[in-house]
A = this chain, B = another copy of it.
């Protein structure tokens, strides 16, 4: 698959430096690695700390344990012998690493080609979808449990700690990202952290979290109110919910990703809240929390069967509060399959 895509782009080699890309290609999960794929073979380089682990985990690639930098090891082992063009992951490779590679790869030339790999990674196979479903199920289960224990006086940080702890106990390897728990006026910060602020009855509580299982991530957002919600909040909630459901209904293989964003944005703008929706509608998710396709106004991605994406509109009124609702869905030829199963009820009694 990768070699086919490489040929189509005129690449003789692909240099894979991102942890997600390395895991995708080889199964190796160490923090220090580098994969080289050419027409002659595929190698996974790592350092001596991972000597045992790379043998245990990697398949389909030859493990190479090296001291010193990966760039000079590629030259020393002549892995790019006979290659004219090698693709690099320009969105992950640091500029320093690029400079080292460029020097050591000569006469082979480097070319930005991260898209070749990320496009493949965006189309999930059955095993990947099973793993993603497991991650989603854990987050759904933890949402239900955490909602049941929410009470006035808990801090945002307490709630984040419960989410993280319970995801691990339920079988997750860890959090997909630091959980966002934002209450009251702080829910108007679209990417607030959890703080020591205590939640109070009647306040909005926005929870955005996920976990990782076997390298694959879940990501979900629910916004709830403990007790009685103000009318203005209930109205806002319905606007977001309708926009989110319109976005889910718009998913289908072949559709431009920016059209899904447009459907959601129109639903919010129509109600007069367009200026309070400052982010994009969603993103692919898999071995990376954010990957292709991007559901955003300027996206040039087109949805394909096997994409797993989030749909997560929000409205944030400064100094008052915000609402966001986020599900994960699998794109199919005819539409989509909703993966997240948590209730979208606003009020928790």
- Chain A residues in the interface with B (C-beta under 8 A): 29-31, 47-53, 68, 88, 90-99, 112, 114, 157-158, 160-161, 164-165, 168-169, 173-174, 178, 188-194, 278-279, 298, 318-319
Contacts and interface: CB of A to CB of B under 8 A. Distances in A.
Contact of A189 (B52, B96, B160, B174): B52
Contacts of A165: 161, 164-165, 168
Contact of A191 (B31, B98, B318): B31
A88 B319 CA distance: 36
B94 A93 contact: yes
6 contacts: A90-B95, A90-B99, A91-B94, A161-B165, A164-B168, A173-B178
Given A94-B90, A165-B165, A189 B112 contact: no
Contact of A318 (B52, B88, B95, B278): B52
Contact of A49 (B49, B160, B190): B190
Nearest to A194: B173
Contacts of A278: 47-49, 51
A164 B188 CA distance: 28
Nearest to A191: B49
A269 to B, nearest CB: 15
B161 A173 contact: no
Contacts of A50: 189-191
B188 A178 contact: no
A96 B51 CA distance: 31
Q: Which 5 A-B pairs have the closest CB atoms?
A: A48-B278, A161-B168, A165-B165, A90-B96, A49-B190
Contacts of A92: 94
Contacts of A52: 188-189, 318-319
Contacts of A94: 90-95
Contacts of A188: 52
Given A49-B190, A95-B112, 9 more contacts: A30-B191, A50-B190, A52-B318, A91-B96, A95-B97, A95-B98, A158-B169, A164-B165, A164-B174
